[in-house]
Structure 1
Amino acid sequence: MTAPTKALTAHVPLDLADQVDALASRQKRSREWVIEQALAAWIEREEEWHRMTLEGLADVDAGRTIDHERVKAWAASLSTDNPLPLPTV
């Protein structure tokens, strides 16, 4: 059974449309399939970004943060012969 679908319309630059068509041709897939895959991957990435942002904000609210000066010192040490260990909470 196929999931219900809905047609979406978007105006994109011609060079992007040409890239989609070329990719579809190389993969022997439809333009619609390529766009659906790209849109699904983008939404998944954005959802993960949102989840991680909320997780980070919860850490801040709970006081689970690392002092900025410790992070700067760690970052500066990375190019030395004796890098500092990764700072932890």
Structure 2
Amino acid sequence: MRSHAKQTISAQIPVELALAIEKLAQELDRSKSWIIKEALTFMLAERERRHNDILSGLADVDAGRVVSHSEIVDFAARLKKE
């Protein structure tokens, strides 16, 4: 995702969000573009991480690596006793 080529995009956002971006840019002494790029990069990476976690969980289910409902109930009961 590291490319030196750039593309300008346009988006309409609520005024409150635009003001928050501007305030953060001033606080961090960064451009609004930098703030938006960082936020989008983080959001996309987090989305990818969650997607991979879901795929991993589904692979566990397919492989039979699961915990039964009764095991969870027993575990919860033990926690209450402690």
State the TM-score, normalized to the length of structure 1.
Answer: 0.81
Unaligned runs of at least 5 residues, structure 2: none
Structure 1: how far apart are the matches of 2:48 and 2:64? 24
> Is 2:53 aligned against 1:46?
no
Give the match's secondary structure for 2:30. coil
Q: 2-side partners of 1:15 and 1:76: how far apart?
A: 47
Share of identical aligned residues, percent? 35
- The structure where helix makes up a greater share of residues is 2
CA distance in 1, matches of 2:17, 2:77: 40
Runs of 4+ aligned residues of structure 1 deviating over 4 Å after TM superposition are none
How many residues align? The count is 80
Matching residue's letter, 2:74: A
CA distance in 2, matches of 1:10, 1:68: 46
Distance 1:18 1:79 in 2: 47
Work out whether 1:17 is the aligned partner of 2:6.
Answer: no
Q: What amino acid sits opposite 2:67 in the alignment?
A: I
- TM-score, normalized by length of structure 2? 0.87
- CA RMSD across the alignment: 1.4
Unaligned runs of 5+ in 1: 82-89
Structure 1 range deviating more: 8-17 or 71-80 = 71-80
Q: Structure 1 37/70 Cα, relative in aligned 2: closer, same or farther at 3 Å?
A: same
- Residues 80 and 8 of structure 1: CA distance in aligned 2, closer, same or farther (over 3 Å): farther
